[in-house]
């Protein structure tokens, strides 16, 4: 079942001389993890805002095409309804904290209170979201007394508690250090194991290669590449368009130029693929010695 369907979408911000998204068509199935990559300005955030209904209801402008979020036409609905179908987590978790609550527990309850959810159901949902994001021990602390990684997990929990069909993540680790990034991706791993449907814009290619079922590369608002992580993340088009590639692809590409990687073997996007491709420690040592 399709959770997100975008047909021939073109969108232009009011003050922009050109469209941010151009003739985008894609389908996201239930339980699928779709990653969106691209250089700065490629349209990743705009696609996230569209997938969560913030375009066209929060960000105005000219939109052509159709966006169906869990079967609901976003242009014919409003954000109050769409937040029940899709939840958006922003780059900066600080921007997502309401500022009206004194504890993490109250912050996560905020959306449910606005919906008038019964107290017992609310408590069960909050406890589940706290457990899933591994922040149950932070429930009584102030949201403003947390690290960046902890705040981002609170932001995730505040969305998960609403039980949307689609979770949209707009570069959720872009402002986090390696520890915070690891904390957030541990949560994402737990969500994928539960079969949650995820659309995530991300620039950390190693994590995309490990977690995503499918990858779309955007360039100037258009879909440049689409396919499995192995197909997209090893494409020579990415560095040509200003998109980083994984360290494992870089090493294998260099090894290939030196005759240490078979041209018949696909380039790796993950560490496990690289180890298999190099045939173990001996081959890897040859690359290190040659470098």
Beta-strand ranges (E) seen in the chain are: 2-12, 21-29, 33-37, 62-69, 72-73, 86-89, 166-170, 197-201, 214-219, 222-227
User: Could you report the per-residue pLDDT of 95-141, keeping only the tens digit for each?
Assistant: 888 778 899 999 999 989 888 899 999 999 999 999 988 899 999 99
d(CA 179, CA 168): 22
| Strand (E) or helix (H) holding 175 | none
Superfamily of domain 2-233: P-loop containing nucleotide triphosphate hydrolases (3.40.50.300)
* Residues 55, 243, 228, 197, CA torsion sign: negative
Say whether pTM exceeds 0.75: yes
d(CA 87, CA 260): 46
User: Could you report the per-residue pLDDT of 218-254, keeping only the tens digit for each?
Assistant: 999 999 999 999 999 999 999 999 998 999 999 999 9
Q: How confident is the model at residue 281 (pLDDT cuts 50, 70, 90)?
A: very low
The ranges of the chain annotated as CATH 3.40.50.300 are 2-233
């Amino acid at each position: 079942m399709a959770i997100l369907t975008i047909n021939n979408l073109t969108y232009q911000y009011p003050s922009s001389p050109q469209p941010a998204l151009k003739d985008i068509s894609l389908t996201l199935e239930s339980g699928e993890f779709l990653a969106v990559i691209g250089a700065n300005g490629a349209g990743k955030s705009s696609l996230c805002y569209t997938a969560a209904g913030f375009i066209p209801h929060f960000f105005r402008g000219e939109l052509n095409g159709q966006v169906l979020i869990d079967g609901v036409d976003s242009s014919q609905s409003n954000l109050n309804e769409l937040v029940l179908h899709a939840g958006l987590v922003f780059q900066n978790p600080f921007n997502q904290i309401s500022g009206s609550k004194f504890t993490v527990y109250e912050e996560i309850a905020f959306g449910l209170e606005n919906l008038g959810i019964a107290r017992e159901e609310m408590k069960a949902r909050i406890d589940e979201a706290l457990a899933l994001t591994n922040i149950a021990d932070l429930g009584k602390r102030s949201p403003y007394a947390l690290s960046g990684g902890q705040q981002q997990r609170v932001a995730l929990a505040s969305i998960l508690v609403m039980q949307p069909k689609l979770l949209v993540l707009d570069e959720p680790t872009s402002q986090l250090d390696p520890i915070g990034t690891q904390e957030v991706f541990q949560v994402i791993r737990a969500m994928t194991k539960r079969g949650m449907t995820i659309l995530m814009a991300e620039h950390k290619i190693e994590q995309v290669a490990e977690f995503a079922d499918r990858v779309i590369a955007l360039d100037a608002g258009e879909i440049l590449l689409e396919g499995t992580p192995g197909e997209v993340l090893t494409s020579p088009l990415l560095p040509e368009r200003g998109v980083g590639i994984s360290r494992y692809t870089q090493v294998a590409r260099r090894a290939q130029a030196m005759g240490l990687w078979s041209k018949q073997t696909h380039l790796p996007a993950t560490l496990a693929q690289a180890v298999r491709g190099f045939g173990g420690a001996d081959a890897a040592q040859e690359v290190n010695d040659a470098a």
